[in-house]
Amino acid sequence: MKVITGIPVLDDVIEEIPEGKVLTYWIDPEVEGDVFAMQTLFTNLERGCKCAYTTIAFSPEVAIGEFNEFGWDVENYENFSIVDLYSGYVGLPSNCEYSASPTDVEELNEVMKKVIGNFDVVVVPVSSIIDVCGEDSTEIIGEWCGFAKEKKTRLICTFVSWPYPKEIEKFMKNSSNAVIRVGGVHHRVILGYYYGVVKVDWKNIKSKAILFRLVRPGGVRAYIPKILVTGPYNAGKSTFVHAVSMRAISVDRLGTTVALDHGHLEYKGFSMDLFGTPGQERFDPILRMLGREALGVVLVVDSTKPETFPRAKQMLEAVAHFGLPYVVAANKQDLPGALPPEEIRKKMFLPEDVPIVPVSAKRGDGVYEVIDALLELLTGSWVGEEK
């Protein structure tokens, strides 16, 4: 059975977790990174895999509550088990089928090997085990990694990068077939969060960081903080933003936008904010300012008015010099006289690799195809050549 991470964009890159591989989420201390392992487990639980979640820092009841907080009702699945190391650590009896005292290394090793031999996916909080059992526990963790390879089990490790000795960090990197870094973007304070591939030994990956946010319920969502929606006056920018967004607001006067449209979209594992600009030339300073902060651009053009194409090209050039990927939404395709995308390409002298998507924003036709095309541009460059 194919096993995936369940993390947006990441699965497009690494495609799957092969049998017997160890994938480690390498987590900065200030980041709520355990959710990555939980999401990986629940994704494969839904796909029919037999999955086990190891808890040592908190009780099984608290662990179940953490899953529930993100909308993942793991207790409804017969193929799910908790490996309870917490109760033995605090001297309480355990009701779980799999339990051990983490301070009894022999018992711990025996139970974990039994779990690894019986499950398809096993989540192990490596840093917590090292904290409780001491630095020498890396020896048995290494045994588990080798046993997972033998039993063709996927081992999902969480490693919080506390100031451990360099030997421990080196051990974890060498023991892992894949390392996914989960960290924070800093400037005096944490401005945001990201994840990215550090190592994958079954594929050649171009490393690139992806911003994310946590959604409750929902889990990890790749985050695109600013998509710029621009185009000439009356091309249909506001209509596009409202058509594609879960919620949107506009500031307008006498039926035309005088400030900004703002929309928000949760789509295919992405969390996105869209900002629409006014089309009049007097607002071009706003356009250039927003272009410096955007990650991608949707250029909306009125397919029935080729006389507006020069203005559209001017607006595009105002933001495209920042190197932003862009997609052209050929709007009003439902109206008589609408030019097809290839005719628009010729009249605007656009390169062949620029997506031009036919759209009727008023009817909602094609708007998500525009988002799909932009996401492809934003994420497609992450994938390298396969080994």
pLDDT by 10s per residue, the chain, length 387: 899 999 998 998 899 999 999 999 999 998 999 999 999 999 999 999 999 999 999 999 999 999 999 999 999 999 999 999 999 999 999 999 999 999 999 999 999 999 999 999 999 999 999 999 998 899 999 999 999 999 999 999 999 999 999 999 999 999 999 999 999 875 444 557 899 999 999 988 776 678 898 999 999 998 888 899 999 999 999 999 999 998 656 555 434 444 578 899 999 889 999 988 876 665 566 666 665 667 889 999 999 999 999 999 988 887 766 677 899 999 999 999 999 999 999 999 999 999 999 999 999 999 999 999 998 888 764 443 333
Residues 81 and 201 in one domain: yes
Residues 24 and 157 in one domain: yes
> Which among 221, 225, 222, 241 has a CA at the least distance from the CA of 370?
241
Give the pLDDT of residue 283. Answer: 56
In a domain, 292, yes or no: yes
The pTM of the full predicted model, rounded to 2 decimals, is 0.78
Which pair of structure tokens corresponds to residue 132? 């409780």
Give the pLDDT of residue 276. Answer: 85
Three-state secondary structure readout of the chain = CCCCCCCCCHHHHHCCCCCCCEEEEEECCCCCCHHHHHHHHHHHHHCCCCEEEEECCCCHHHHHHHHHHCCCCHHHCCCEEEEECHHHHHCCCCCCCEECCCCCHHHHHHHHHHHHHHCCEEEEEHHHHHHHHCHHHHHHHHHHHHHHHHHCCEEEEEEECCCCCHHHHHHHHHHCCEEEEEEEEEECEEEEEEEEEEEECCCCECCCCEEEEEECCCEEEEEEEEEEEECCCCCCHHHHHHHHCCEEEEEEECCEEEEEEEEEEEECCEEEEEEECCCCHHHHHHHHHHHHHCCEEEEEEECCCHHHHHHHHHHHHHHHCCCCCEEEEEECCCCCCCCCHHHHHHHHCCCCCCCEEECECCCCECHHHHHHHHHHHHHHHHECCCC
Which pair of structure tokens corresponds to residue 248? 């949107």
**How many whole angstroms separate alpha carbon 63 and alpha carbon 65?**
5
Give the pLDDT of residue 250. Answer: 56
CATH of the domain at 180: 3.40.50.300
Give the pLDDT of residue 96. Answer: 97
**Rounded to the nearest 5°, which phi and psi values hold at 206?**
-80, 120
**How many whole angstroms separate alpha carbon 319 and alpha carbon 229?**
11
Give the pLDDT of residue 210. Answer: 85
In a domain, 274, yes or no: yes
| Structural domain count of the chain | 2
Of 217, 248, 269, the last residue of a domain is: 217
Residues 244 and 202 in one domain: no
Of 202, 217, 232, the last residue of a domain is: 217
* Cis peptide preceding 217, ω within 30 of 0: yes
Of 192, 217, 242, the last residue of a domain is: 217
Give the pLDDT of residue 161. Answer: 94
Residues 305 and 191 in one domain: no
In a domain, 5, yes or no: no
Give the pLDDT of residue 57. Answer: 94
Q: Provide CB contacts within 8 A for 282, sequence distance 6+.
A: none
What is the domain range of residue 76? 10-217
**How many whole angstroms separate alpha carbon 38 and alpha carbon 210?**
19
Residues 115 and 195 in one domain: yes
Under 8 Å between Cβ of 384 and 203: yes
